[in-house]
A and B are shown apart, each in its own frame.
Chain A
């Protein structure tokens, strides 16, 4: 008998050789089948690099699809809830897409690379859905996750680093804009996007040039505190920015079995992404109905008393003088930069209006002893971390 060996090991990204050189912890996890680092030497210090200088994160495992063809705009407009007519070439849009029940399949970013040529980036894989959505459209959908290497370059000094790298004109790039440069004969796409709520860019290049780009970038960033980071640091920055994460803060509809476990855009506070002026898009009929009848859930950002992170906590509210359970937290942390105990959670409507004070039940262990506190938590509407430098164009010289 012959035994055919099937390679089953995790994939590695084009930047893996550089990451392993810098790695001091050997903390790796799988991100959609790719070896990805939790942290390279210290998650907190990596986090502070994002906030004080520049953190570089390997986002190559991000799922990417190239959407092209004469019908690409119509196709994407039918796919997502927002109006994509407004997203001109050279712009990037954050978007969600729903099933026919108006429940979110995933969120992601859509890059309008050139006229009629798009890239869709998301957490989950979606080819079957994207292909079904293409029935009757003259479009081509290509999975290009492995064909594009990506780096997030995030933090106050990121602009200075890219300028030093020689990307002339980068000062004109506005938030959610993208532009193309030549890098050693290859096309380097730079978008002013990110997952940190701060000044930052994402760099996209063919895998063959990935290491050269890394080296040039770190050379340019030497004097600007450039630091490679892992997922842990990025996760902290993302919660401070008030960004929601698929699977953590909501479950993509295709991963749910029971009804009521998925979420609509309204239930995640993404009303601004739903444009009913479009006559047809996936989920429109159900969302219009939800708009009439009201939603079941509401996403809340909480500013919590004390300093114990409210991970996996129930959220309570008062009704007729009695305390009742209203929901639960999905992301929580002590924010070093805000000096606040923050959380993102989900509550039942009609609770959780901005300004309401709710209670969060926090359990923590101290020398084996479990302790419980009920902490007051105020519902806020702005992101916890939202510095002006994030939007400034041209960005500041830090």
Chain B
């Protein structure tokens, strides 16, 4: 006789944990199965060299939804809040921005940036409201769906004629054109472009990059913070909240398949051969993995499978972790600046040129980077006097043209370090250990499909009503009892927790 649960969650990523916590809070008997030995998915802190730890995938917190914190009663400790962004210049004349203020540019650019940031934040507020709702279905007569759609239309209109027009004009176009039109400082253009394309398979000239920029501003208007103890502490806190509500979390248990019985979900079977019964299975895994591998295509209809099969999820963001003897000397940075968010973005052409090789399955020769030294704020991450550097390095294609091997990794690691050395010439001498995680590594370590943070590209054709695919954007999959709660579902990843929360609410309203 196997154990029976009200709901089984596959994967203890942040969304899975949020969903589990909320289901448990509503009185459901919930089991969470995590394949890795620690919970947290792509928001974990782990050692990478003797005495050095790092947030090994996501490394900054932007978007955690206040509604999630409120519902689960999360109280997080921050090592740093509202970090400044410094866009590095080889000359040492950096520009800095935080909120709607930017320094190191002309007065005109300052004014432009303020107006730009205000407008984008306004759009982000609108989107955020819908990030915390189940997206309505299109083409149905369901009252709830029609109401939400009408509300969305009303909210767009309520922004006023000018803002509505601007939203509709901008939402599909590219960040390059917009920065070109608004700013004259090349470094500012580059930094804003990088903010738009970080974590995507898009360059500044790709359509849709204004949408991804707005996306980053949802919750806190782009304010960046660093949790004490790294990102792992966020997911540990969510896991604790879930446990406090009664959820059972088992780590080191990989689900082999979802058991389907007579056209509905009946439980899961683990790699260890254990069968666990539940009429509800909620997957925090990617939509494609869930549907094609965990369940199998034959339990779904062909049109749905065709759409799922076409989900685009190819990551380009690698993680570079350096264990350092001491802080490297960046030109033009003061001691306190090391605690900020540093960008290597050149100008918008630099970002676009970094993207070019990725189109053909090759790595950037001059990559863009988002760099942090978390140990500046958080002494627990490195031995006394030593430091940790954590950087997102783009573009590093998941499907490298000649395939990934150790020498390819080593070569790119060198490229990244050489790029850093242009800004901090002594960095190579400070390195005692280095780790590069390519998107393929991220896929293997964190079970991220395609090594993509969002389990699926964030583009308009895979967004809102059609995320992950049209006709299945309400967390419930077209198989009774199967739900998605991860980044592949609306509204996406980014350690928001919204997908997990929305999924829990949807499950509770459907499965009474």
Residues 279 to 320 of chain B near chain A (Cβ within 8 Å)? 292, 296-306, 309
* Contact flag A100-B298 (CB < 8 Å), given A132-B306, A279-B262: no
B471 at the A/B interface (Cβ < 8 Å)?
A: yes
| A99, A101, A135, A280: the one within 8 Å of B299 (CB) | A280
Binds B, one of A1-9, A172-180, A282-290, A321-329: A282-290
Cβ–Cβ contact A135 & B304, under 8 A: no
B153 at the A/B interface (Cβ < 8 Å)?
A: no
Cβ–Cβ contact B302 & A129, under 8 A: yes
A127 at the A/B interface (Cβ < 8 Å)?
A: no
Chain A neighbourhood of B304, CB < 8 A: 100
Chain B neighbourhood of A285, CB < 8 A: 301, 478
The A contact surface, by secondary structure, is loop
| A74, A132, A279: the one within 8 Å of B302 (CB) | A132
Cβ–Cβ contact B305 & A136, under 8 A: yes
| B262, B264, B302, B309: the one within 8 Å of A282 (CB) | B302
A79 at the A/B interface (Cβ < 8 Å)?
A: yes
Across the interface, name the chain A residue whose C-beta is closest to B305.
A135
Chain A neighbourhood of B297, CB < 8 A: 135-137
A222 to B301, CA, bound (A): 51
Cβ–Cβ contact A280 & B303, under 8 A: no
A191 to B260, CA, bound (A): 38
B273 at the A/B interface (Cβ < 8 Å)?
A: no
Cβ–Cβ contact B302 & A136, under 8 A: no
Chain A neighbourhood of B302, CB < 8 A: 78-79, 99-100, 129, 132-133, 282
Q: Mask for A254-295, Cβ within 8 A of B = 1, else 0?
A: 000000000000000000000000011111110000000000
Chain A neighbourhood of B471, CB < 8 A: 100
A99 to B306, CA, bound (A): 11
Chain B neighbourhood of A129, CB < 8 A: 302
Chain B neighbourhood of A132, CB < 8 A: 302-303, 305-306, 309
A283 to B301, CA, bound (A): 7
Across the interface, name the chain B residue whose C-beta is closest to A136.
B297
Across the interface, name the chain B residue whose C-beta is closest to A74.
B298
* Contact flag A136-B292 (CB < 8 Å), given A283-B301, A284-B301, A285-B301: yes
B272 at the A/B interface (Cβ < 8 Å)?
A: no
Chain B neighbourhood of A100, CB < 8 A: 301-304, 471, 478
Across the interface, name the chain B residue whose C-beta is closest to A99.
B303
Across the interface, name the chain A residue whose C-beta is closest to B471.
A100
| A99, A279, A282: the one within 8 Å of B263 (CB) | A279
Chain A neighbourhood of B296, CB < 8 A: 136
* Most chain A beta-carbon contacts within 10 A, residue among B292, B296, B300, B302: B302
Residues 111 to 141 of chain A near chain B (Cβ within 8 Å)? 129, 132-133, 135-137
Cβ–Cβ contact B298 & A136, under 8 A: yes
Q: Mask for B232-268, Cβ within 8 A of A = 1, else 0?
A: 0000000000000000000000000000101110000
A160 to B374, CA, bound (A): 91
A129 to B296, CA, bound (A): 18
Q: What's the least CB distance linking B469 to chain A, in Å?
A: 11
A136 to B299, CA, bound (A): 10
Cβ–Cβ contact B298 & A78, under 8 A: yes
Chain A neighbourhood of B305, CB < 8 A: 132-133, 135-136
Q: What's the least CB distance linking B229 to chain A, in Å?
A: 42
Across the interface, name the chain A residue whose C-beta is closest to B310.
A132
Q: What's the least CB distance linking A254 to chain B, in Å?
A: 11
Chain A neighbourhood of B262, CB < 8 A: 279
Q: Mask for B164-189, Cβ within 8 A of A = 1, else 0?
A: 00000000000000000000000000
Chain B neighbourhood of A135, CB < 8 A: 292, 297, 305-306, 309
Chain B neighbourhood of A79, CB < 8 A: 302
Cβ–Cβ contact A282 & B303, under 8 A: yes
Cβ–Cβ contact A282 & B301, under 8 A: yes
Q: Mask for A70-110, Cβ within 8 A of B = 1, else 0?
A: 00001000110000000000000000000111000000000
Chain A neighbourhood of B264, CB < 8 A: 279
Chain A neighbourhood of B292, CB < 8 A: 135-136
A284 to B303, CA, bound (A): 12
Chain B neighbourhood of A284, CB < 8 A: 263, 301
Cβ–Cβ contact A280 & B309, under 8 A: no
Residues 444 to 475 of chain B near chain A (Cβ within 8 Å)? 471
Chain A neighbourhood of B300, CB < 8 A: 280
Chain A neighbourhood of B263, CB < 8 A: 279-280, 284
Q: Mask for B73-93, Cβ within 8 A of A = 1, else 0?
A: 000000000000000000000
Chain A neighbourhood of B301, CB < 8 A: 100, 280-285
Across the interface, name the chain B residue whose C-beta is closest to A283.
B301
A283 to B292, CA, bound (A): 19
* Most chain A beta-carbon contacts within 10 A, residue among B264, B292, B297, B301: B301
Across the interface, name the chain A residue whose C-beta is closest to B292.
A136
Across the interface, name the chain A residue whose C-beta is closest to B139.
A259
Residues 123 to 166 of chain A near chain B (Cβ within 8 Å)? 129, 132-133, 135-137
Across the interface, name the chain B residue whose C-beta is closest to A278.
B263
A74 to B305, CA, bound (A): 16
A133 to B471, CA, bound (A): 18
Q: What's the least CB distance linking A119 to chain B, in Å?
A: 20
A284 to B478, CA, bound (A): 11
Q: What's the least CB distance linking A102 to chain B, in Å?
A: 10
Residues 403 to 455 of chain B near chain A (Cβ within 8 Å)? none
A251 to B299, CA, bound (A): 28
Across the interface, name the chain B residue whose C-beta is closest to A101.
B303
A78 to B297, CA, bound (A): 10
Chain A neighbourhood of B298, CB < 8 A: 74, 78, 136-137, 280
Q: What's the least CB distance linking A106 to chain B, in Å?
A: 14
A101 to B301, CA, bound (A): 10
Q: What's the least CB distance linking B286 to chain A, in Å?
A: 16
Q: What's the least CB distance linking A136 to chain B, in Å?
A: 3
Chain A neighbourhood of B478, CB < 8 A: 100, 285
Q: What's the least CB distance linking A126 to chain B, in Å?
A: 11
Chain A neighbourhood of B299, CB < 8 A: 279-280
Chain A neighbourhood of B260, CB < 8 A: 279
Q: What's the least CB distance linking A72 to chain B, in Å?
A: 12
Across the interface, name the chain B residue whose C-beta is closest to A78.
B298
Chain B neighbourhood of A283, CB < 8 A: 301
A285 to B477, CA, bound (A): 12
Chain B neighbourhood of A78, CB < 8 A: 298, 302
Across the interface, name the chain A residue whose C-beta is closest to B296.
A136
A33 to B264, CA, bound (A): 44
Q: What's the least CB distance linking B85 to chain A, in Å?
A: 44
Q: Mask for B372-414, Cβ within 8 A of A = 1, else 0?
A: 0000000000000000000000000000000000000000000
Across the interface, name the chain A residue whose C-beta is closest to B304.
A100
Q: What's the least CB distance linking A177 to chain B, in Å?
A: 29
A133 to B305, CA, bound (A): 8
Across the interface, name the chain A residue whose C-beta is closest to B302.
A133
A320 to B260, CA, bound (A): 51
A283 to B300, CA, bound (A): 10
A14 to B221, CA, bound (A): 71
* Most chain B beta-carbon contacts within 10 A, residue among A74, A79, A281, A282: A282
A132 to B301, CA, bound (A): 10
A96 to B142, CA, bound (A): 29
Across the interface, name the chain B residue whose C-beta is closest to A137.
B298
Q: What's the least CB distance linking B369 to chain A, in Å?
A: 38
Q: What's the least CB distance linking B263 to chain A, in Å?
A: 3
Additional 13 contacts, C-beta under 8 A, given A279-B263, A282-B301, A285-B478: A99-B302, A99-B303, A100-B301, A100-B304, A132-B305, A132-B306, A136-B296, A279-B299, A280-B298, A280-B301, A281-B301, A282-B302, A283-B301
Chain B residues close to A by CB (< 8 Å): 260, 262-264, 292, 296-306, 309, 471, 478
25 intermolecular pairs with C-beta atoms under 8 Å apart: A100-B302, A100-B304, A100-B471, A100-B478, A101-B303, A129-B302, A132-B302, A132-B303, A133-B302, A135-B306, A135-B309, A136-B297, A137-B297, A279-B262, A279-B263, A279-B264, A279-B299, A280-B298, A280-B299, A280-B300, A280-B301, A281-B301, A282-B301, A285-B301, A285-B478
By Cβ-Cβ distance, the 7 closest A-B pairs, closest first, are A136-B297, A279-B263, A100-B303, A133-B302, A132-B306, A100-B301, A282-B301
